Amino acid sequence: MLPIIFLLLILFNYEAFGRDIWTPDQAWAWFNSQKYIMGSEYMPAYAVNQLEFFQAETFDADTIDNDLEAYGKLGMNTIRVFMIDVAYTIDPTGFKSRLNTLISIAAKYGIKPTLLFFTPSAIANPVPGKQPLPIPGVESSGWAQTPSANNLMNPSTWPTLETYVKDVVGTFANDSRVLMWDIWNEPDNGLNSTEVSFLDQMLPQAFEWARSVNPIQPLTSSIWNSITSSTGRLQINNSDIVSFHK
Ligand SMILES: *[C@@H]1O[C@H](CO)[C@@H](O)[C@H](O)[C@H]1NC(C)=O
Ligand SMILES: *[C@@H]1O[C@H](CO)[C@@H](O)[C@H](O)[C@H]1NC(C)=O
Ligand SMILES: *[C@@H]1O[C@H](CO)[C@@H](O)[C@H](O)[C@H]1NC(C)=O
């Protein structure tokens, strides 16, 4: 009887907590199995932000196809794609379907997307629907923060974010067309100390949500300012592979 109970416990454990953080050996094995990884951020020509990118009213597969065909011809093999919780929450099935369309188009041109969940940005509390026009000459003027500043500072809203992360990572967890998941882009870029204290609570949880559905892809969180700040250390400690900006 004992071995059977033991086995059941292992299975239960696996279900409940997902996989472990990669060891350095696993991280190197993944890195060494990649081509030279080269690419940039990608926002389609028609979109001022992630909502205009992914909402049903504006999502435009033809433009994405044209953009990525040119991109692939330049020899690029990854794009960083900013997603947004609001686009998922108002229409989970549609959002995942459009994400799958994007991933399929990218695959045609030899491009594996890095998919990003959370990021600080210009619009602190974005709302779905029509988005603002870009401000000429201002980089990323209309990009949207996710989670919104209000939700970041209100942990009672985080279960909605947990559903989003688990469903999206779970849907593509075994999909080799996806390069990696960036759980939180430059998390402390421009946030004040109150926001950072909530960020430091939520960031490790967001990693756990993603890891709980056993993705084959690595998880990372691109470091912005410092590897010694509280946020920087949390990012490094929770990442399968370390990535950084600046
Ligand atoms: C991924 O593949 C593993 C092993 O083949 C399987 O157990 C698991 O259910 C798959 N996960 C998803 C989300 O499809
Ligand atoms: C930090 O930013 C949030 C969101 O914009 C704001 O509500 C809060 O008052 C700010 N706190 C401080 C200490 O500036
Ligand atoms: C990160 O991990 C190191 C080594 O295990 C540990 O000493 C440190 O306290 C951790 N830092 C944070 C912010 O979790």
**Residue with CA closest to ligand 1 atom 2:** 174
Domain boundaries, the chain: 26-127+142-238
Whether the pLDDT of residue 209 is over 90: the answer is: yes
In the β-sheet with 39-41, what is the strand arrangement from edge to edge? 39-41, 78-82, 112-118, 180-184, 219-220
- Residue 83: closest CA among 115, 55, 106: 115
Read off the pLDDT of residues 130-151 as tens digits, 9 standing for 90 and up.
Answer: 999 999 999 889 999 999 999 9
Read off the pLDDT of residues 187-196 as tens digits, 9 standing for 90 and up.
Answer: 999 999 999 9
What is the pLDDT at residue 14? 46
What is the pLDDT at residue 3? 52
What is the pLDDT at residue 4? 53
What is the pLDDT at residue 212? 98
Burial class (CB in 10 A: 0-12, 13-18, 19+), 14: exposed
Q: What is the DSSP string of 154-207?
A: -GGGHHHHHHHHHHHHHHTTT-TT--EEEEESSTTTT--HHHHHHHHHHHHHHH
Read off the pLDDT of residues 56-102 as tens digits, 9 standing for 90 and up.
Answer: 999 999 999 999 999 999 999 999 999 999 999 999 999 999 999 99
Mean pLDDT score across all residues of the chain: 93
What residues have CB less than 8 Å from 188, skipping those under 6 apart? Answer: 120, 196, 199, 224, 225, 229, 231, 232
Taking the CA of residue 192 as reference, the ligand 2 atom at the shortest distance is 1
What residues have CB less than 8 Å from 103, skipping those under 6 apart? Answer: 113, 172, 175, 177, 178
Phi, psi of 189 (to 5 degrees): -70, 105
| Portion of the chain with pLDDT greater than 90, in percent | 89
What is the pLDDT at residue 17? 72
What is the pLDDT at residue 56? 97
What is the pLDDT at residue 240? 98
Q: Which ligand is closest in space to the CA of residue 200?
A: 3
Residue 240, ligand 2, Cβ within 6 A: no
**26-127+142-238 topology per CATH:** TIM Barrel (3.20.20)
Whether the pLDDT of residue 2 is over 70: the answer is: no
**Residue with CA closest to ligand 3 atom 1:** 237
Whether the pLDDT of residue 6 is over 80: the answer is: no
| Residue 159 structure tokens | 């279960």
Q: Which residue has the higher pLDDT, 225 or 18?
A: 18
Taking the CA of residue 237 as reference, the ligand 3 atom at the shortest distance is 1
Q: Which ligand is closest in space to the CA of residue 15?
A: 1
What is the pLDDT at residue 16? 57
Q: Residue 204 in contact with residue 230, Cβ under 8 Å?
A: no
